Amino acid sequence: MKEYYAGLDVGGTSGRLKICDLSGKVLGEFTAPGCSFNTDGAVKSRLRYRDLVLPALLKQNLTPGSCRGICVAASGIDSPSDEQECRSIFEEMGFLPDYLMVVNDCEVFLYQTRLPALVLVSGTGSVCFGRDETGITHRTGGWNHIVSDEGSGFDMGLKVLKTVGSELSGRSKSPVLTPLFLKTTGLDSLGKIDDYINDNLMEKSQIARFSLLAYQAAASGDVTAIGIHQECADALWGLIRDTAAKMNREGADLWLWGSLLVKNHILREMVKGKVHAELPGMRMDIPQITALDAALQAVQKKDYIC
């Protein structure tokens, strides 16, 4: 049976699989509904993983047992027990334990760069991972949006709601951000905002979407919106600082990832400025490949511990 490598990038909304032969030639790329392991649970995740992987292998006339390296970069792999349970799902399909790598989807970029390295992610949520010279991974943040996710889209969106609420209460002024929010959302009273928050507090993407308004207002010079960006940048810097301290490192490669850091240049430059000032030995960049390709590269390099 033909041997191959496989990389998976499984997020809460969609899952992607990419397969190549041992020479690196891509054999196929496939998509299916995704899942988040910690919130959707093992039962649902098992079905989603199988629905993505097994039909794709069948289409390519491949078997799990002939895989010579598979990296599962999956949302919600937040503990050793999550990792072990996820591994068992793939072993049940027939993948061999010695060729199976399971990591949090945000962590995967650490496996396609030299060590030591860190990756800071700020999208709907936030987290920082670091991998030291010995291959040990350190994590700061990213546990959930109620007690963590500082500097994330949710955090920024919530700050927007607080800013608008403060102005509607007659306590402050935000000449660009508040009118932009009212016009865009139609949430033009404290009662409507309160109802929206009560309905959507646990749907963090529905709060995080207001981060775009903060960016638009900051780009127009709104002082309050700029201040929101600075608060979030300071929080993200804290994730980097504390992760670097756990690694006992001041110099390393730092990857910046997630929709806010990639698309919001104001936030990104604030974070970079803080890092340059406090950890001048840190080398920063945005990954030039996708998480899916990073997963595939990790097993092609055999840069994993089984």
Rounded to an integer, what distance in angstroms lies between the CA atom of residue 287 and that of residue 295? 13
- 84: which residues sit within 8 A by CB, 6+ positions away? none
Q: How many residues does the chain have?
A: 306
Give tens-digit pLDDT for 266-278. Answer: 999 999 999 999 9
Give tens-digit pLDDT for 153-209. Answer: 999 999 999 999 999 999 988 999 999 999 999 999 999 999 999 998 888 889 999
Rounded to an integer, what distance in angstroms lies between the CA atom of residue 28 and that of residue 26? 6
Give tens-digit pLDDT for 16-38. Answer: 999 999 999 999 999 999 888 87
Can you give the pTM of this predicted structure?
Answer: 0.83
So what's the pLDDT on residue 302? 65
Per-domain residue ranges for the chain? 4-110+289-300, 113-287
So what's the pLDDT on residue 193? 94
Q: Long-range contacts made by residues 262-269, C-beta under 8 angstroms, separation at least 24? A: 262/286, 264/211, 264/215, 264/229, 266/215, 266/218, 266/219, 266/226, 266/229, 267/122, 267/215, 267/229, 267/232, 267/233, 267/236
Q: Is residue 115 very low, low, confident or very high in pLDDT (cuts 50, 70, 90)?
A: confident
Rounded to an integer, what distance in angstroms lies between the CA atom of residue 170 and that of residue 164? 10
Same fold, 4-110+289-300 and 113-287: yes
DSSP state of 99: G
Whether the Cβ atoms of residue 284 and residue 102 lie closer than 8 Å to each other: no
Domain 113-287: top CATH class: alpha beta
Please state which architecture CATH assigns to domain 4-110+289-300.
Answer: 2-Layer Sandwich (3.30)
Task: For residues 113-134, give the mean pLDDT.
Answer: 89
